Copies of this chain bind each other. A is one copy, B any other.
Amino acid sequence: MSSFIFSFDDPAVQSYAFYSGVLALKTLGMSVLTAKVRHSKKVVANEEDAKLDKKAVIKFDDPDVERVRRAHLNDLENIPAFWLLGGLYLTTGPPASTAINLFRVYTAGRIVHTLVYAIKPLPQPARGIAYGIPFFIMVFMGVKVIIYYSKSL
């Protein structure tokens, strides 16, 4: 197995850093979106929050708030796994252009997922496709990582 050291001079590593950063900010944006929908629907989750706004009620089943929260949880189920798998995938020595395109499509897919799930709900299969393509990119990278490192076990 050839030597690999993570170098941030490598274009594929730079691409990973850029898209991982974009995905992190996108995920953090879900908190802002939740706050915005909570504010417009006057729905909060805690007593101390209800005291801030006389019109707000404590409620755990507002459909608009819960939709944004499901989209956020879906990010948590996927994006940290991308950070790990994307980084490890780079260590297996893929062609830079392949890695960069996978990161790009992954990021685009997750942004579209948020749009069609939480911003402007669209009929299926919009969300299914926006979920599935990034999902299979992760499976691809994960299988590559496992095969590559299973040789050294």
Q: Which residues of A contact B (CB under 8 A)?
A: 1, 3-9, 11, 14-15, 17-18, 20-22, 24-25, 27-28, 30-31, 45-49, 51-52, 60-61, 67, 70, 72, 76-78, 80-81, 83-85, 88, 91, 121-127, 135, 138-139, 142-143, 145-146, 148-150, 152-153
A78 to nearest B CB, angstroms?
8
With both beta carbons as reference points, the residue of chain B lying nearest to A4 in the complex is identified as B8
Q: Establish whether residues A139 and B81, one from each chain, have CB atoms under 8 Å apart when the complex forms.
A: no
Pairs across A and B, CB under 8 Å, 29 listed: A1-B8, A1-B9, A3-B7, A3-B8, A3-B9, A4-B8, A5-B7, A5-B8, A8-B91, A14-B153, A15-B153, A17-B88, A17-B91, A18-B150, A18-B153, A21-B146, A22-B146, A25-B139, A27-B81, A31-B77, A31-B135, A46-B67, A46-B70, A48-B123, A48-B127, A51-B123, A72-B77, A76-B77, A80-B80
Q: Is the interface of A mostly helix, strand, loop or mixed?
A: helix
A67 to nearest B CB, angstroms?
7
Q: Establish whether residues B28 and A135, one from each chain, have CB atoms under 8 Å apart when the complex forms.
A: yes
CA distance A77 to B5 in the complex (A): 29
With both beta carbons as reference points, the residue of chain B lying nearest to A23 in the complex is identified as B84
Q: Establish whether residues B81 and A84, one from each chain, have CB atoms under 8 Å apart when the complex forms.
A: no
Q: Establish whether residues B142 and A21, one from each chain, have CB atoms under 8 Å apart when the complex forms.
A: yes
CA distance A104 to B126 in the complex (A): 39
- Chain B contacts for A145, CB-based, 8 A: 17-18, 20-21
Interface centre among A24, A52, A67, A122 (most CB of B within 10 A): A24
